[in-house]
Amino acid sequence: EKGGYEHFMLKEMYEQPKAVRDTLMPRLDDENRILLDELSLTPEQLNHLKKIIIIACGTAWHAGLVGKAAIEKFVRIPVEVEIASEFRYRDPFVDERTLVIAVSQSGETADTLAALREAKMKGAHVMTVTNVVGSRISREAQDVFYTWAGPEIAVASTKAYITQVMALYLIGLKMAELRAQMPQEEITKIVQELKELPSKIQQILDHQEKIKELANKQIHQHHAFYIGRGLDDYTAREGSLKLKEISYVHSEAIAAGELKHGTIALLEKGTLVVAMATQEPLYDKMVSNMKEVKARGAYVIAVTKASLEKEMQQSADVVFSVPDTLDILSPVLSVVPLQLFSYYMAVARGADVDKPKNLAKSVTVE
Ligand code: F6R
């Protein structure tokens, strides 16, 4: 059932191009316009919205962070992202003018379900992005956007994450259209770029040998630090979580600008730092953060985009680049090398990749 792959996680990473295509294509017409029957709100209701709250746990929460950046950019409406297990305990500001989007691969996560119920009780319109048809969350939400990632067996989420991010792009773009926030041509341009992502993910998978070698040289590490700014900060958090949950290497993700406010004290000669730098406007700032960590002896692996690779070589020990795309869409690509890196670290360290200790695929207790 692993289709010749050594682990489900590896198989599922390889299924990402298809998962992205399956989530995207049925929602586009021949002119690349987004069809989204899943969103039942009328343009009037949408115009009346004051804010959006995304609720989720773990990896799905990281997808929510990317979704916030995208929706705020496309729709110009404030978006909050809340960890579901925190949401209910602070009497959140939610009313009929709030749209709540619960993001959950399994659709069974207890905290996410409870948060969705609370929001619904307070009068919000509740929507879910989920991967499991008929799951509890899908049954209780008013609108359901299914990610068509197919069954995800490995505990560590990969293809579901990427399709959650895709879902939030599509929801954001559709809302931008309905609220007339963006000209149609601009939306179509982004959609065209979305359609390129599956083959670009495939290109990264085809170059994974380099990441495997890199991981094999880092298996002695006890700690890792992931840094990035903006969208790269969110991807850094996802990469860091992936590393710790399957390889058991302690790892921390910090917004790069926050480093010198404390965490940099932990750096020593040879400490592993993964620096994410895919965002053109933030590139110089990232390079200066990388210089800071290198000056303390850190071993820096940089993830950037192809057009910046050459430049980046001066600032990192190793550079891995992903194909160029629009800055806002880069999280779909830049997460892939991080998934592969944590996978190969876990394999090399002899960990049970698909079933990490102490973890369950869906967390049904609060
Ligand atoms: C990490 C991971 C978890 C889940 C989290 C939420 O790889 O898979 O962090 O993302 O438990 O699960 P769902 O999305 O099923 O609500």
Q: Which of 252, 250, 275 is nearest to 263 (CA)?
A: 252
Report pLDDT digits (tens) over 147-184: 999 999 999 999 999 999 999 999 999 999 999 999 99
Core vs surface per residue 4-36: b (16+ CB within 10 A) or e = eeebbbbbbbbbbbbbbbbbbeebbeeeebbeb
Here the ipTM equals 0.99
If one residue of 13, 106, 132 were mutated to test the ligand 1 pocket, choosing by the most ligand atoms within 8 A of its CB, it would be 106
One-letter amino acid at 299 equals Y
Banded model confidence at residue 98, pLDDT cuts 50, 70, 90:
very high
Pocket of ligand 1 (CB under 6 A): 57-60, 104-106, 109, 112, 156-157, 241, 245, 362-363
Banded model confidence at residue 275, pLDDT cuts 50, 70, 90:
very high
If one residue of 61, 163, 246, 363 were mutated to test the ligand 1 pocket, choosing by the most ligand atoms within 8 A of its CB, it would be 363
- C-alpha distances out from residue 106 to 131, 142, 159, 338, Å: 6, 17, 13, 22
Residue 293 Cα to ligand 1 midpoint, Å, equals 31
Kindly state the helix (H) or strand (E) to which residue 345 belongs, with its residue range. Answer: helix 331-348
Which range is least confidently modeled, 38-47, 198-207, 322-331? 38-47
Banded model confidence at residue 74, pLDDT cuts 50, 70, 90:
very high
